[in-house]
Amino acid sequence: MKFFVESFGCQMNSADTEEMGRHLAARGFAATADRDAADWVLVNTCTVRQHAEQKALSYLGRLRDWKDAKPGRRLVVAGCAAERLQDSLRRRFPHVDLVVGAISIGRFPELADGLLPAGEFDARGEAADAWSPENDYTAYTRGFPVGHVTIMRGCNYSCAYCIVPRVRGREIYRPAESVLAEVGQKAAAGCSEILLLGQTVNSYRPADGPIQDFADLLRAVDKVPGVRRLRFMSPHPFYVNERFAAAVAESPNVCPHMHLPVQSGSTPVLRRMRRNYSRADFLARAALLRRFVPGIALTTDIIVGFPGETDDDFKDTLSLIDEADLDGAYSFKYSPRPGTDAAEGPDDVPREKKEERLAVLLESLERRAQEKTARLIGTAQEVLVESAGVENGVWTADGRTRRFWKVRLSSKTPLKIGDTVNVKIQEAPARVLKGEAHAA
Ligand code: SF4
């Protein structure tokens, strides 16, 4: 039996996909990249924005022919859109065999077993506990050479625009020994970079044991043999304090880059978003991180056109990017998501205004990126190779620096995914640096 996956959305979703794939591997399935060869297709959906949900749903619609082409094929839909839509998903797509909402990922083995022919597979070898340190966390992996490791599920916040707490539930922390087991396995399998994942990853606080919070966990993961780079997504600004910053600074493998979502630079907007920090708080925390980790690169998420956002609020966002000296941002126009508090009120910033603000924001970010990358010309950067090939007879590769800049490099010798090379930066068009690999 073979399974094929299509995973939409964030890295949390990608890690959940690995989790489900691991359970299928324990039941004798092999992963395939050829959908037509698959007996099962697993679609992991995202609902964080209308566009992401629509993409996943239209993909599901297109799977009808795949399902009808061969008897016995099974179609499983999982993730956040599955959680939000539940039965209406089944009504709209009757060719779906199983819906596994994001909150129910832990029940995937039992739900999947219900679709398997009785007695065909013996899954007794699989540990009952989804997070047992005994599990084989490398049975099905994605994203090599970066090892994705979920450390918690859910979110205790209730940001007014966000559907995540509704579809993923409240925070549940994974036991530290299980996190360390997965990190160890993935590092031994060649993942020299580890990405710890959680909706508000630095709110991690398991119930008992010597590891009490995220700072402790970071220090412990940093020491796992084979880990050469360590990142985490996404920290919440509220939990950025001296203890956290010290753990980042004193863990040599933690990369000097942090994606710290701010969403807006205006305190009144942040209050209405229910982000639990003000503009001044965010700036103070960015400054704290820079004091502990000089030169740290900070990136962020920004929403433009949140209900009630004025021109002055938007100017505050633009000026915050400069004041906090941010290196980049994922920016989006606000769109209401059914089921969120903000969607109950008016979406009162006109579409043209949102587009205009987004364009101004993107231009400002582009200018900053150009200034920052220009300073890197002539420097040597350590790059972890994420893809490699040959172009016009020259060995080429793409990868990331420790500060998360993308690099396209050429090399005199062949490179493979997972290699770490030193690269002399020769050009710096915004966003993608270009250079040549040279001996370490
Ligand atoms: S912190 Fe806010 S934006 Fe982030 S997942 Fe939780 S509710 Fe959503």
Question: Ligand 1 centre and the CA of 175: distance in Å?
Answer: 22
Q: Are 328 and 369 in contact (CB under 8 A)?
A: yes
Decide: 199 in ligand 1 pocket, CB within 6 A. yes
Pairwise CA distance, residues 100 & 89, whole Å: 11
Q: What is the pLDDT of residue 134?
A: 86
Which atom of ligand 1 is the closest one to the Cα of 234?
A: 4
Q: What is the pLDDT of residue 431?
A: 80
DSSP 3-state of 22: helix
Pocket probe mutation, ligand 1, options 10, 156, 200, 259, max atoms within 8 Å of Cβ? 200
Q: pTM of whole model > 0.85?
A: yes
Decide: 264 in ligand 1 pocket, CB within 6 A. no
Question: Ligand 1 centre and the CA of 74: distance in Å?
Answer: 33
Alpha-carbon separation of residue 11 from 14, 16, 45, 397 (angstroms): 5, 9, 12, 22
What would the mean pLDDT of 373-400 be, rounded to a whole number? Answer: 95
Span 14-46, pLDDT tens digits = 999 999 999 999 888 999 999 999 999 999 999
In this predicted structure, the answer to whether residue 127 has a pLDDT above a threshold of 70 is no
What length is written for the chain?
A: 440
In this predicted structure, the answer to whether residue 119 has a pLDDT above a threshold of 90 is no
Span 302-337, pLDDT tens digits = 999 999 999 999 999 999 999 999 999 999 999 999
Give strand pairing partners of 2: 30
| Chain position carrying tokens 């999982």 | 78
Which atom of ligand 1 is the closest one to the Cα of 200?
A: 1
Average per-residue pLDDT for the chain: 93
DSSP 3-state of 315: helix
Report the sign of the C-alpha dihedral through residues 275, 280, 285, 289, in that order. positive
DSSP per-residue letters across 350-419: -HHHHHHHHHHHHHHHHHHHHHHHHTTTT-EEEEEEEEEEEETTEEEEEEE-TT--EEEEEESS---TT-
Which atom of ligand 1 is the closest one to the Cα of 162?
A: 8
Preceding omega of 234 cis (within 30 degrees of 0): yes
Span 135-176, pLDDT tens digits = 899 999 988 999 999 999 999 999 999 999 998 899 999 999
Burial 187-219 (b: 16+ CB within 10 A, else e): beeebbbbbbbbbbbbbbebeeeebebbbbbbb
Sheet with 328-333, edge to edge strand ranges: 257-259, 297-304, 328-333
Q: Which one, of 21, 82, 15, 3, lies nearest residue 46 by Cα? A: 82
Decide: 192 in ligand 1 pocket, CB within 6 A. no
pLDDT band for position 125 (cuts 50, 70, 90): low
